[in-house]
Amino acid sequence: MNHIFLTHGFADGHYVLPPLPYDETALEPFIGAETLILHHDKHHASYVAGANAAADTLRAIACGNAPAELSSCAMQKLAFNLGGHVLHTLYWHSMTPRAEGAPHGLLAELMRASFGSYEAFCNLFTSVCEGVQGSGWGVLGVDPVSHKLLVLGISRHQDVLVPGLLPVLVCDVWEHAYYLTWRNNRKGYVAAFMQHINWPTVALMVEKALTV
Ligand code: MN3
């Protein structure tokens, strides 16, 4: 399996903040510029910094330059922050200002094989996004065992994960993703997200995932 966008999030030995793939006003009125700028420049950036700090701590422990007792805490910080970095990198590419309709080709076939129909997938993904308790994510991924698609609701950035699952479409349902525009209306935000999915990009990621 391989991933076409995650390589944008690492350079010169460090995790880095990749640029947004569109202008900060591009998703208005679905997501306002203020939300997009804060979300990318502050929230995503803080996960990048946290992932680098945790990785540095673990490296220092490995070299005997930090006490081993710090390892448990550093691992938890790495899982949370690197999870956040990965998911946000994918989130920016999950959306487009110029959404086309339903997916077609291989992705449409996989969707029928995995969920029954595109409409059934939409119902499931929407209900999972709406149902995440507190902060988390709705995720569509390629299951490495069955090579079918799987929908999960992730808590925070790293809980309820299937090892090896390659995420190809993610919806951030932390309140910081939508609160300035949608207030407490997560249902409205998720419904609008479904209308802005970048299906050609999702299809490309699925094809890459299944052709190694
Ligand atoms: Mn977020």
Dump pLDDT digits (tens) for 113-167. 999 999 999 999 999 999 999 999 999 999 989 999 999 999 999 999 899 999 9
Q: In this predicted structure, what is the pLDDT of residue 2?
A: 53
Distance from residue 75's CA to the centre of ligand 1 (Å): 20
Distance from residue 109's CA to the centre of ligand 1 (Å): 30
Residue with tokens 């390659």: 166
Distance from residue 88's CA to the centre of ligand 1 (Å): 6
Q: In this predicted structure, what is the pLDDT of residue 1?
A: 46
DSSP-derived pairing of the beta strands 149-155 and 166-172: unpaired
Judged by DSSP in three states, 139 sits in strand
In this predicted structure, the answer to whether residue 170 has a pLDDT above a threshold of 90 is yes
Distance from residue 153's CA to the centre of ligand 1 (Å): 14
- Helix 186-194 and helix 118-131, axial crossing angle in degrees, nearest 10: 150
Residue with tokens 């799987």: 150
Residue with the larger pLDDT of the pair 211 and 22:
22
Distance from residue 156's CA to the centre of ligand 1 (Å): 10
Distance from residue 177's CA to the centre of ligand 1 (Å): 5
In this predicted structure, the answer to whether residue 212 has a pLDDT above a threshold of 80 is no
The pLDDT confidence band at residue 211, using thresholds 50, 70 and 90, is confident
Distance from residue 198's CA to the centre of ligand 1 (Å): 18
Long-range CB contact pairs, 159-166, < 8 A, 24+: 161/83, 164/1, 165/139, 165/141, 166/1, 166/3, 166/141, 166/142, 166/205, 166/209
Distance from residue 172's CA to the centre of ligand 1 (Å): 6
Distance from residue 42's CA to the centre of ligand 1 (Å): 10
Range from 8-12, 91-95, 136-140 carrying the lowest mean pLDDT: 8-12
Whole-number average pLDDT of the chain: 95
Distance from residue 15's CA to the centre of ligand 1 (Å): 17
In this predicted structure, the answer to whether residue 25 has a pLDDT above a threshold of 60 is yes
Q: What percent of the chain has pLDDT over 70?
A: 99
Q: In this predicted structure, what is the pLDDT of residue 101?
A: 86
Q: Which residues surround ligand 1, an ion (CB under 5 A)?
A: 43, 172, 174
- SS3 sequence, 20-66? CCCCCCCCCCCCCHHHHHHHHHHHHHHHHHHHHHHHHHHHHHHCCCC
d(CA 160, CA 83): 12
Distance from residue 12's CA to the centre of ligand 1 (Å): 25
Judged by DSSP in three states, 84 sits in helix
